[in-house]
């Protein structure tokens, strides 16, 4: 792992690796403290029901509605989905991504495709999207911090996009990388993770029809805080697998390194399938706080978490015969 320098610490204080790692643990603890509190009812809860739904800043997008995969559960309000975010490149507080992303420029955008595929290179986003019909998919999003939302995404099945690059027979995984622009992303100044943010999927997970490459939500282009202009949505996995603002896609033979797994392998596995039976070392995953509708209360809206976030019927067969505790 590359060594990072914490800008808040003077060079004269540069410490041995063990201390450095402990400091990272501490920072990570701080990063998660609000989430832990949130689980018990805290002050950063979404806005009261009377809040007016915002007019999303992005262009309106036309999309085919009513996917068979969409849930009919009560939607999270756009206000909450766009103001209560995890996007550490903009800061670790839930309000930071909306607050600190005004300098972020998602246009023009290109994605570099590399590794084990016949078609590789750098492609304009428009060319990647060309010829694909946009669909609306209403999915549950379950964060590892034990809260969840119901979000109407707009996007394209990832499989349709990946097939055009003609992955090789030995492409067993797909790796994704988020853009890292320190001038536009103030959170990159803090070594909470080993930037850039990276995620990965097994290729059969990437090709699964539920896996979406999203460009919008609530009928509009993605706002910066939700991962503009292009992010992954993998609804049966913890939210951190759904990597935002993608600039690289690599087909690999070996399992690629992923940011949260590298930072704390015991807490965040490569698979990260939602599993109520496997607790996080610091909290239970048996239930979740659903942020949806206007009826939020500190004690209410606690739901049982379902295996694979309720998508077991679609995806459980991908893991047949696997030990899902070891491969958490």
Ligand X SMILES: Nc1nc2c(c(=O)[nH]1)N[C@H]1C(S)=C(S)[C@@H](COP(=O)(O)O)O[C@H]1N2
**Positions at the binding site:** 85, 88-89, 143, 178, 226, 231, 242-244
Interacting residues with ligand X (CB under 6 A): 81, 85-89, 141, 143, 178, 197, 226-227, 239-240, 242-244
- 34 in Cβ contact with 45 (< 8 Å): no
If one asks whether residue 240 binds Mo ion (CB under 5 A), the answer comes out as: yes
Spell out the alpha helix ranges (H) of the chain. Answer: 17-40, 78-81, 96-100, 125-129, 158-163, 203-206, 259-263, 312-315
Tell the smallest beta-carbon distance from residue 227 to ligand X (Å): 6
Dig out the tokens for 309 from the structure. 């976030």
Q: Which of residues 27-86 bind Mo ion (CB under 5 A)?
A: 86
Tell the smallest beta-carbon distance from residue 238 to ligand X (Å): 7
Positive or negative: CA dihedral 257, 270, 3, 243:
positive
Q: Which is nearer to ligand X, 31 or 315 (CB)?
A: 31
The contacts of residue 322 (CB under 8 Å, 6+ apart) are none
Task: Please give the Cα distance from 238 to 148 (Å, whole number).
Answer: 10
Tell the smallest beta-carbon distance from residue 29 to ligand X (Å): 16
Task: Please give the Cα distance from 82 to 84 (Å, whole number).
Answer: 6
Q: Which is nearer to ligand X, 117 or 247 (CB)?
A: 247
- 192 in Cβ contact with 92 (< 8 Å): yes
Tell the smallest beta-carbon distance from residue 203 to Mo ion (Å): 23
Contact map string, positions 295 to 314, toward Mo ion, x by CB under 5 A? --------------------
Binder of residue 285, out of Mo ion, ligand X, none (CB less than 5 to 8 A by kind): none
Residue nearest to ligand X (CB): 239
Among 239, 256, 269, 310, interactor with Mo ion by CB under 5 A? 239
Task: Please give the Cα distance from 192 to 26 (Å, whole number).
Answer: 9
Instruction: Give strand pairing partners of 303.
Output: 288
**Contacts with Mo ion, residue ranges (CB under 5 A):** 86, 143, 239-240
């Amino acid at each position: 792992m590359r060594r990072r320098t914490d800008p808040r610490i003077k060079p004269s204080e540069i410490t041995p690796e063990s201390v450095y790692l402990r400091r990272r643990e501490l920072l990570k603890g701080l990063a998660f403290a609000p989430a832990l509190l949130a689980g018990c009812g805290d002050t950063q809860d979404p806005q009261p029901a009377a809040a007016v739904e915002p007019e999303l800043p992005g262009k309106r997008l036309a999309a085919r509605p009513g996917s068979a995969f969409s849930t009919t559960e009560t939607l999270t309000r756009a206000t909450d989905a766009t103001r209560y975010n995890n996007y550490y490149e903009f800061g670790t507080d839930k309000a930071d991504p909306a607050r600190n992303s005004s300098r972020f420029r998602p246009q023009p955008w290109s994605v570099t495709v590399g590794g084990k595929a016949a078609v590789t290179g750098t492609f304009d986003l428009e060319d990647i999207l060309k010829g694909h019909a946009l669909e609306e998919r209403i999915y549950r999003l379950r964060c590892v911090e034990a809260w969840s939302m119901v979000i109407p995404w707009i996007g394209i099945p990832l499989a349709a996009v990946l097939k055009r690059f003609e992955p090789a027979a030995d492409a067993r995984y797909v790796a994704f990388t988020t853009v890292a622009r320190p001038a536009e992303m103030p959170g990159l100044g803090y070594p909470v993770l080993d930037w850039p943010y990276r995620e990965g999927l097994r290729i059969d997970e990437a090709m699964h029809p539920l896996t979406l490459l999203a460009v919008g939500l609530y009928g509009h282009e993605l706002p910066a805080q939700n991962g503009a202009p292009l992010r992954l949505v993998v609804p049966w996995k913890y939210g951190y697998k759904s990597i935002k603002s993608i600039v690289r896609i690599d087909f690999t033979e070996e399992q690629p390194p992923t940011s949260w797994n590298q930072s704390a392998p015991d807490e965040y596995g490569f698979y990260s399938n939602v599993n109520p039976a496997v607790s996080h070392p610091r909290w239970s995953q048996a239930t979740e706080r659903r942020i949806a509708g206007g009826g939020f209360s500190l004690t209410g809206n606690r739901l049982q978490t379902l295996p694979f976030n309720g998508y077991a019927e679609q995806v459980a067969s991908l893991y047949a015969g696997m030990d899902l505790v070891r491969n958490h």
